[in-house]
Amino acid sequence: MNIEGDLCILGSGIAGMLLAERALGHGRKVLMIERGTRLTFEDRKQRNSHDDPLPFNKSPHFSPHEPQPVGPRTRGREYVFQPVYNLGGSTNHFYGNMPRMHPTHFGQAAFGGVSRAWPISYAEIEPYYLQAEQRLQSSGSADHTPFQGQFAYPLPPHRLSPSDRACAAIFGPEHVVPVPTVRPSQAVNGRPKCCATNVCSLCPVDSKGTALNMVYPSIQARIDLRSGLLATAVETRAGLVTSVTAMDEKGTRHRISARQFVVACNGVDSCLLLQRSAAVPQHSSLGRFYMDHPVFDLAIHASGFDAKPGYGDSAQTAMFTPFFAQLAADLPVSLLGEIRCSTMANDAGEGNRDLIFREVVRQSLRDGSRRSFQEKFRAAWGATLDLWFQLETQPLATNTVTIRRIEPNGQAVPEVRLQYPPYLGDCVERVTAYIQRHLPGSAIVHHSTYPGSHHWLGATRMADSPEQGCVDRTLRYHDLQNLYVLSTSTFPSSSSANPTLTLAALALRLGDHLKPAQAGRPG
């Protein structure tokens, strides 16, 4: 079967949808291809799952992973790649934090001989950050950010939790910033205020902003959406993409033609599609320099504050920013801290909540006073802070995404190789020392480390030359005039910020780039 379009977007996540909306505004006709079904929020709630029923969307991937260089672990030695294949993509599942990258992260010095500099500057992307924050109705504080610039969040920030306020008192209010988020601080456009359950991966009241509830309604009637189609190959001739081959549930092949194509899949699958397409130039960086944000979690026990774990107006209400620009002069990375007011109020007694709970019990049993155990426990509970640090990671050629196998249903299964950065231990030590300087006598427990944050970055990196990257500064694939990649895989460095807002800004920017004046002459 042949399908024809003008601008063809592969993937219906937040990036694809924002691009579609912007392109429609410029008079483009949009064909959107989604491998998953069109499950609505109600469908997901009913199923209590994002799992897509199509046969080629059932392959959560686990890769063996090197042990981290320091500290305990809470999960197995596996790196989890578990995408959401469905209309709306990963925002269905994410927690909704939307910080910008720090301006300094756009122009960092090389690490290990690999460029970390973005071909675009913060100044170039800032107008699109602003537009994305407006469009996605972010909650945030315009006058309290870790860097200068224009900010105009449409919704006010969430009220700081007792844990946030305790951190502000201990470390300085300038380091505790209301987290920019699409968990709304007040009802907006038919969505209720964030219910603060900390189960954002399937928001029970559809409050969290997603591609599905924020963008899709405005484009739904104006795009040609084909769901249940898995793109399996990009075909080219003389430097132009001529078509994309896709497969449906029954194994029937479809040929998709368009004037321009945008690969807007997640950060791993975008790479896999290009790798499995024999006609696409296989640039040396394709599938290399893969990054994700490792995380380590610290529980801090001290006296003199009441953090009231479990109190908060949202799953997380503030970021901890003293290390956001850079951790230290002699370390090449930044850290973004999350003050986790919600961990210990989780419904299920699992994961970090149980780890911290056990630490509180230990603290209580060490208390030699004559108070009752309950009094000791309450004191230890209130004097516990839970800080989660998201670590910038480096683009290394040895961290790779490759195709492990192609399944009979057409799905590519990835092989991800990613090591913990060797400086992870140093980062834990620096942060621990920083906390001890501000809280002498405190007990600091590094109780968990995760290899990733489901932030799939770098495998089709952006650089001005095809020797250094796969796409240029406009996101056009090098050596192909009408193919673009709009995915977190284009990030040449990871920052320590959650990537969704930057991706959204890139989507709006690409939408402007592809307006008809440019569309007339490919590239």
Partner 1 sequence: MRLLGLSTDQADWLDVLDDTEQSDLYRVLTSPGEAPARAVGLLAKVLSPRTRLMAFVGYGQASNRRTVCDGLFRE
Q: Any contact of residue 80 with partner 1 (CB under 8 A)?
A: no
- What residues numbered 343-372 form the site for partner 1, per CB under 8 A? 344-349, 354, 357-358, 361-362, 365-368, 372
Residue 223 CB burial class (10 angstroms; 0-12, 13-18, ≥19): buried
Query: Based on CB atoms, which residue is closest to partner 1, 375 or 479?
Result: 375
Nearer to partner 1, 7 or 319 (CB): 319
Nearer to partner 1, 243 or 342 (CB): 342
Give the C-alpha separation, 229 to 373, whole Å.
59
Question: Taking contact as CB under 8 A, which single stretch among the options 65-73, 180-188, 336-344, 485-493 is the one that binds partner 1?
Answer: 336-344
Does 374 participate in binding partner 1 (rule CB under 8 A)?
yes
Q: Does the footprint of partner 1 cover residue 185 (CB under 8 A)? A: no
For residue 381, state whether it binds partner 1 (rule: CB under 8 A).
yes
Considering the complex, state which of residue 357 and residue 484 has its C-beta at the smaller distance from partner 1: 357
Collapsing DSSP to helix, strand or coil, 79 comes out as strand
In angstroms, the CA 157 to CA 180 distance is: 7
- Is 143 a binding residue for partner 1 by CB under 8 A? The answer is no
Interface with partner 1, residue 318, by CB under 8 A? no
Q: How far is the CB of 206 from partner 1 (least distance, A)?
A: 11
Tokens of 146: 């870790």
**Residue nearer to partner 1 on the CB measure, 370 or 521:** 370
Q: Which two tokens stand for residue 522?
A: 């490919």
- Annotate 373-399 with three-state secondary structure: HHHHHHHHHHCEEEEEEEECCCCCCCC
Q: Does 190 bind partner 1 (CB under 8 A)?
A: no
Task: Judge whether 47 and 40 are in contact, CB under 8 Å.
Answer: no
Q: Closest separation between CB of residue 351 and partner 1, Å? A: 12
Binding residue for partner 1 (CB under 8 A) from 110, 123, 187, 205?
205
Residues 9 and 497: beta-carbon distance below 8 Å? no
Residues 40, 197, 242, 436: which binds partner 1 (CB under 8 A)?
197
**Tokens 């591609």 correspond to what residue?**
211
| Residue 296 backbone dihedrals phi, psi, to 5 degrees | -125, 150
Count Cα atoms within 13 angstroms, Cβ side, for 184.
23
32, 221, 396 from 226: Cα distances, Å: 6, 13, 37
The contact mask relative to partner 1 for 292-311 (x = CB under 8 A, - = no) is ----------------x-xx
Instruction: Give the interface segment with partner 1, choosing from 179-187, 189-197, 228-236, 515-523 (CB under 8 A).
Output: 189-197
Please state, in angstroms and rounded to a whole number, the distance separating the CA atoms of residues 219 and 518.
22
- Kindly state the DSSP code that residue 164 receives in the 8-state scheme: H
Handedness of CA 39, 40, 46, 51 (dihedral sign): positive
Residues contacting partner 1: total by CB under 8 A: 40
Residues in contact with partner 1 by the rule CB under 8 A? 162, 195-199, 204-205, 308, 310-315, 341-342, 344-349, 354, 357-358, 361-362, 365-368, 372-375, 377-378, 381-382
